[in-house]
Amino acid sequence: MRNKKIKAAAVMLACALAAGAPAAAGAETVLRIGMTAADIPRTLGQPDQGFEGNRFTGLTMYDALTMWDLSSADKASVVIPGLATEWKVDDADKTKWTFKLRPGVTFHDGSPFNADAVVWNVDKVLKQDAPQFDPSQVGVTASRMPTLVSARKIDDMTVELLTREPDSFLPINLTNLFMASPAKWQQFYGKAEGADAKARSQAAWAAFAKDASGTGPWKMSSFTPRERLELVKNDNYWDKARVPKVDKMVLLPMPEANARTAALLSGQVNWIEAPAPDALPEIKQRGFVLYSNEEPHVWPWQFSRVEGSPWNDIRVRKAANLCVDREGLRDGLLAGLMVPATGTFEPGHPWRGNPTFQIKYDKPAAQKLMQEAGYGPNRKLTVKVQTSASGSGQMLPLPMNEYLQQALAECYFDVQLDVIEWNTLFTNWRRGAKDPSANGSNATNVTYAAMDPFFALVRFLQSGMAPPVSNNWGFINNPKFDELVKKARQTFDPVARDAALAELHAASVDDAAFLYVAHDVAPRAMSPKIKGFVQAKSWFVDFSPVTIVP
Amino acid sequence: MFAYIARRIVYVIPIVICVALVCFLLVHITPGDPLVAVLPADASQELAAQLRSAYGFDRPLPVQFGLWLWRALHGDLGSSIATGRPVLTEVMRAVGNTVMLAVAAAMIGFTFGLLFGLIAGYFRDTWVDKVATSVAIAGVSLPHYWLGMVLVIIFSVQLNWLPAVGAGPGGSGAWAWDWEHLRYLVLPAITTSVIPMGIITRTVRALTGDILSQDFVEALRAKGLRETAVFRHVVKNAAPTALAVMGLQLGYMLGGSILIETVFSWPGSGLLLNSAIFQRDLPLLQGTILVLALFFVLLNLLVDIAQAAIDPRIKRS
């Protein structure tokens, strides 16, 4: 009897060792990420859900002609060559650009990346009679490269891009145009059923989204809509230094902050975006690691500059900027999760410049400016700001606005809040301060991404960008800004262009064009087993260098 | 009985048309841009107009409704603006997950609700009644999303016994009926079951108490029937009302709970609605609401028929 027991134990031990040994030797490393998105961002090449979409299903599976350098946590993230190795604008005609393509790159399906693929991908969003034209991808793409008109193949590895007007921002804008595999799409199109070419095209894109093919460092391995996307590393990635070190990445939508936090704390995932702020002490106490860094994001008040607006007086604009204790906001309400904003870009950024107006907390100076403008304790200036109760990038809009309300009250402002639903606020943003939707507000509180010059500066400062064209909500009309925008757009040497943009930014700070309040810091929490992660000053993340230690 | 069923089915037709109209109009009168999912706010008005035309939102509302209804009658609820996937596929997948959750929650909620209700009714005004009633009141009063979070903190974060979120280790697409998958269902099902359990306990308690005080029960006892036989009569008399309440509760649960499904990241119709609302995905929103509303209509029809089958008085009236 005793022998039988020993034998049984020995067999069990052998089985356990046999099962465990290969697992230990070749254990698959899996990065499980809880995203803030409620759904998997679109996987067909041009993701939805803003830059979170680009972060997870754009830059992972796809590449663009140009890309962001995400290797440093200290330096500003700048544009570097991607699928194009070099580019230049035509000396005689500044609307023509030539891009030299990277040789030897293949899509995940094995088909080659070449000039035909670039033209095909431009046509998918710009050429309405192209079979692959997809209206659902137009909005998120064309708006981010507003001057691009068309693409033409010069030879297999050279392509010419045409813009509507001279535009030195094009290489930066092109970080948003991801290259999907035409060969793969064509396979689906060939098999697609539909009443007409448009229906077949839609069916082909729907099939492509389930079995996507790009050139990126990660390949799609399985996709359950609204639940999970599994990506595996692309061993054949063209940049050997960026072949992922982790075998697999699983992306899980978890829109609720407490659910994400619980998933991390219970070990279901090993990485979460935006943990619940009040759980940060527990997350740290349990040994998880918190990361954050300044993001190209601005939490502002955008002033109305239409006739009769109190913000037309520069003393009032400057006073508002000097009356806010941003450090107090950071250390109190936001528990350290913000960077005080002293402009759209902070010192160290190539587009910062040297503004003479220093944005800081200086209440006496603010009060003095307001008194010079004719206001005081007995004659307060009433201003109204439209904001939302929540929303992507809005951080904590209501408490933050109430903080400003209290702070500005000490500088003789009487701030009224007009709180509306986030999507409505977004829609109103396009309509401008003159539209009835502004509801008498003379400022709006819509946060914005400041990744590229058009979105960070031009669309707000150039007079021609007033509604209905773009987001100059307050109808700013400053000839100096227009001149500097033109100069920056028509300066094609990258260093000189950056200098021109810095000049434009400095001018906007000197003019106190916005009430600059905060930059978000993109907090994320992860298991201490995750190593090698670098949180760049960007909306984006490079997952390739991440490792998981046993 | 056949005439009764036919009459009930005929009544359903105008209800369905009204439901469709309300579904369509409700989402159109809400503020916000229906193209917000595919059109960033920084897009120009020109681009917005181009896309509005491409998606058919520039057509008059009655024309849009007519086209939508016509397609819906043919089983086509259109495609999601945000994802491009067919709405019907999206809705049916989500509804499948919600049905699984609702049935699990119903099994827990109805069983304990009936049990507590009958016990409380039979032992009215005793300490047993007070305990059962307290449980029922707690069930109805506790915010279920709060309860869900508390359960997650206890059983997932602190004890690490059950998963906090999701519908299986490989998602609902890889669902299997084993403990590895069922453990994902435990916390959301318990959380979902609490309200129906409370409501059914209170309903059945009141019914049982009411029936027990009626003359026919005295007559049954006077005839010398054993208490189990009396109990059967009580159950039979309480059944139509209890069934109606359970049907409604099941309907509510099949509608999915936005809060519970969000707390547990359960990929059901509540989470789908949540996503559709935040993305202003009109076709998805309309399709989901329509399918869920039709569930209610269908369930009410089934409950009516079941009630008539149990209680002939209903059929006659």
| Closest Cα in chain A, distance from residue B197 (Å) | 25
pLDDT along chain B (317 residues), means of 10: 80 84 78 67 69 78 84 83 85 91 93 91 88 89 90 92 91 89 94 93 91 88 87 86 85 80 90 82 86 82 80 64
Residue of A nearest to B281 (CA): A423
What pTM was computed for the model?
A: 0.84
Distance CA B32, CA B54 (A): 18
Cβ neighbours of B81 in A, within 8 Å? 136
The pLDDT of residue A362: 97
Distance CA A258, CA A275 (A): 7
In degrees, to the nearest 5, what angle opens at C-alpha B247 toward C-alphas B246 and B250? 85
Cα distances from B252 to residues B116, B243, B256, B292, B299, in angstroms, run 21, 14, 7, 9, 10
Contact status, residue A168 vs residue A490, Cβ threshold 8 Å: yes
The pLDDT of residue A468: 77
Which tokens hold the place of A476? 């700013």
Of A34, A140, A226, the CB nearest to B272: A226
Say if the Cβ atoms of B263 and A258 lie within 8 Å: yes
Regarding beta strands A443-444 and A381-388, do their DSSP bridges make them parallel or antiparallel, or are they unpaired? parallel
Q: Is the ipTM of this complex over 0.85?
A: no
The CA radius of gyration of chain A, in Å to the nearest whole number, is 26
Say if the Cβ atoms of B172 and A48 lie within 8 Å: no
Contact status, residue A225 vs residue B93, Cβ threshold 8 Å: yes
pLDDT along chain A (550 residues), means of 10: 48 44 64 90 89 92 97 91 96 96 97 98 93 86 86 97 95 96 96 85 92 97 92 97 96 88 94 88 93 94 96 98 96 90 95 96 97 96 92 85 97 95 80 91 94 92 87 95 96 94 98 97 94 94 94
Say if the Cβ atoms of B157 and A266 lie within 8 Å: yes
**Nearest alpha-carbon partner for B164 in A524, A32, A329, A76:** A32
Of B31, B40, B275, the CB nearest to A139: B40
For A:149-168, CB contacts with B below 8 A are: none
3-state secondary structure B265-287: CCCCHHHHHHHHHHCCCHHHHHH
Residue of B nearest to A464 (CA): B44
Which tokens hold the place of B215? 């003359």
Contact status, residue A232 vs residue A218, Cβ threshold 8 Å: yes
A469 touches chain B (CB under 8 A): yes
Taking one residue from A and the other from B, the number of pairs with CB-CB distance under 8 angstroms is: 175
Helices (H), A234-325: 257-265, 280-285, 314-322
Cβ neighbours of B94 in A, within 8 Å? 226
| Closest Cα in chain A, distance from residue B32 (Å) | 5
Please tell me the number of Cα atoms within 13 Å of B130 on its side-chain side.
3
Say if the Cβ atoms of B152 and A259 lie within 8 Å: yes
Cβ neighbours of B284 in A, within 8 Å? none
Residue of A nearest to B167 (CA): A227
The pLDDT of residue B36: 67
**Nearest alpha-carbon partner for A40 in A275, A249, A296:** A249
- What spatial distance separates the first Cα and last Cα of chain B, rounded to whole Å? 12
What's the burial of B158, exposed, middle or buried (CB within 10 Å: 0-12/13-18/19+)?
A: exposed
Q: What are the φ/ψ torsions at residue A124 (nearest 5 degrees)?
A: -60, -20
The pLDDT of residue A17: 42
Contact status, residue A526 vs residue A533, Cβ threshold 8 Å: yes
Of B39, B163, B172, the CB nearest to A139: B39
Contact status, residue A237 vs residue A216, Cβ threshold 8 Å: yes
Of A226, A255, A426, the CB nearest to B262: A255
Assign A35 to helix, strand or coil.
strand
Contact status, residue B237 vs residue A197, Cβ threshold 8 Å: no
Residue of B nearest to A255 (CA): B262
